[in-house]
């Protein structure tokens, strides 16, 4: 029996910059602001299901305060939080 050779390509993660105009933004608000979700309820589900990472660790806190330098990852999307003007 011959085995077929399968080629698999792994998609690269896309890093985007989110400009912060205040000192922080809460995780659920960020997900709405970048249009990952349409509602806070959907954000709550994604976060509680462990689908969101903050600084390379799964984050289950939807009110987590994100500040300049934080990195948020959802699927293949990455958002680098940068203070506007820095």
Cα-to-chain-centroid distance, residue 51: 9
C-alpha distances out from residue 36 to 4, 50, 55, 61, 66, Å: 37, 15, 18, 17, 16
CA–CA distance, 13 with 15 (Å, rounded to integer): 6
Domain assignment of residue 65, given as a range? 23-83
Q: Is the pLDDT higher at 13 or at 74? A: 74
Overall number of domains in the chain: 1
CATH of the domain at 79: 3.10.290.10
- Residue 73: strand pairing partners: 53, 78
Q: What is the pLDDT of residues 5-46, one digit of tens each?
A: 776 666 667 789 999 999 999 999 999 999 999 999 999 999
Instruction: Indicate the pTM of the whole model.
Output: 0.82
Residue 35 covered by a domain:
yes
CA–CA distance, 19 with 39 (Å, rounded to integer): 21
Widest CA span in the chain: 63
């Amino acid at each position: 029996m011959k085995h077929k050779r399968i080629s698999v390509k792994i998609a690269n993660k896309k890093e985007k910059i989110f400009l912060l105009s205040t000192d922080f933004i809460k995780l659920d608000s960020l997900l709405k602001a970048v249009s990952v979700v349409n509602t806070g309820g959907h954000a709550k589900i994604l976060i509680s299901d462990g689908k969101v990472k903050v600084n390379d660790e799964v984050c289950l806190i939807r009110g987590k305060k994100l500040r300049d330098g934080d990195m948020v990852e959802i699927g293949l999307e990455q958002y680098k939080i940068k203070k506007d003007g820095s």
